[in-house]
Amino acid sequence: MRFWVSAGLVFSLAVIAAAILKNEYYFFAGYTVLTYVVLATAWNILGGYAGYVNFGTPAFFGLGAYAAAVLFKATEAPLLFQIIAAAAMSGLLGFAAGLLTLRLRGIFFAIATIALVVIMETLFINWRYAGGATGLQLLRPAPVAPFESYIKMLFVVMALIAVASVAIARYIETSWIGRGLRAIRDSEEAAECSGVPTLKLKVFACSISGALMGAAGAPMPMYLSFIEPASTFNLNYAIGALASPMIGGMTHYIGPVIGAILLSTIQQVVTVTISGEMNVLVVGVLLVVFVVAAPEGILGLFRKKFSAGRK
């Protein structure tokens, strides 16, 4: 109950902000932050709970973006259908990739997911209809009724996707699925022996995670009015999606949210005030510092402080 109240509060805050604030820059920045919240939450379903490191975020994100763009080019479908199509395509990719690669462990799985990114990028570079290497210009339609600008509408839509994905992550975490995934992380053999359907659970986690990443990518072509393979399948998305849960904490659904908000806000500030290269450096340094010094992330630090206080 508390979760739904706070989720509702956060979402209404986003709507109120969209109604009051005039400066559109906040919505551009907020949209990016929310995208990373979705990506980090989705990443954590497979990476945090089950312990499978996925570098393939750009493949799912990019496929979602392209699915939306191609659907829009072909039929001018509204945003809602674009998002559904994107989630379906990326979910399917997650299902297929999961079946093929989830028998691999540790670094082998991680490398296989990088492979997925490069293969998807190569496919879209060579697909003329989707614009090939030069990309595709898209004409944004007029915003739907209550919204005065398209970017505000995208911001609210992304806030909705973010709330939905955190709710899904929370459901998975607290249900038997989450327990199964945690058993896989601790010892896959022991889990299998105790009757946990490990492969089924992993494929399920990979599909859901992929679908959410695809949904996060769907509004992007409209956000930029443009889509192009090199930036869509950029490994920087993988870095953000992986670093946020590591920094926030991977054991609770709120960890990736904290990490993503913190990290991408810092990134926005650094990009604007210093340079785009510095923001990647900041992520790299924070990632290394956290995995070495605070393996449980920010949540772990808090937990340590509270349990010390109780004694």
Partner 1 sequence: MEFSFDLLLEATVFGILLGCFYAAVSIGLSVSFGLLDVPHVAHPAIMVLGAYCTYVLVQYGFDPIVAGIVLMPAFFLLGMGVYRFYYEAFEKRGSDAGVRGIAFFFGLALIIEVGLILAFGVDQRTVEAAYIGESIDLGEMRIPLRFLVAFGVALVLMTGLTLYLSKTFTGRAIKAVAQDEPALRLMGADPVRIKQWAFGIATGVTALAGALLIIIGPVEPGLDRVYIGRTFSVVVLAGLGSMTGTIAAGLILGISESIVLMHFGASWAPAVAFGLLLIVLGIRPQGLFGR
Please report, as ranges, the residues that interact with partner 1 according to CB under 8 A.
Answer: 47, 51, 53, 55, 100-101, 104, 106-108, 110-112, 114-116, 118-119, 121-123, 125-126, 133, 185, 235, 239, 242-243, 246, 250, 277-278, 280-281, 283-285, 287-288, 291-292, 295
Amino acid at 280: V
- C-alpha 93/C-alpha 78 separation (Å) is 23
- C-alpha 109/C-alpha 115 separation (Å) is 10
Helix/strand/coil for 109: helix
Are the beta carbons of 136 and 69 closer than 8 angstroms? Answer: yes
CA distances from 301 to 18, 94, 135, 287, 295 (A): 34, 33, 44, 15, 9
What pairs with residue 136 in β-bridges? Answer: 227
Question: At its nearest, how many Å lie between partner 1 and the CB of residue 300?
Answer: 12
245 Cβ contact partners less than 8 Å away, ≥ 6 residues apart: 40, 43, 44, 47, 48, 255, 256, 259, 297
Question: At its nearest, how many Å lie between partner 1 and the CB of residue 67?
Answer: 20
Question: At its nearest, how many Å lie between partner 1 and the CB of residue 169?
Answer: 17
Question: At its nearest, how many Å lie between partner 1 and the CB of residue 51?
Answer: 6
Are the beta carbons of 300 and 294 closer than 8 angstroms? Answer: yes
Please, which residue, 15 or 104, has the CB nearer to partner 1? 104
Question: At its nearest, how many Å lie between partner 1 and the CB of residue 242?
Answer: 6
Please, which residue, 30 or 297, has the CB nearer to partner 1? 297
Paired sense of beta strands 226-227 and 136-137, if any: antiparallel
Please, which residue, 19 or 230, has the CB nearer to partner 1? 230
SS (H, E, C) 201-253: HHHHHHHHHHHHHHHHHCCHHHHHCEECHHHHCCHHHHHHHHHHHHHHCCCCC
Question: At its nearest, how many Å lie between partner 1 and the CB of residue 249?
Answer: 13
Please, which residue, 105 or 200, has the CB nearer to partner 1? 105
Please, which residue, 29 or 270, has the CB nearer to partner 1? 270
Tokens of 169: 């992550």
Question: At its nearest, how many Å lie between partner 1 and the CB of residue 218?
Answer: 24
Please, which residue, 10 or 287, has the CB nearer to partner 1? 287
Please, which residue, 34 or 130, has the CB nearer to partner 1? 130
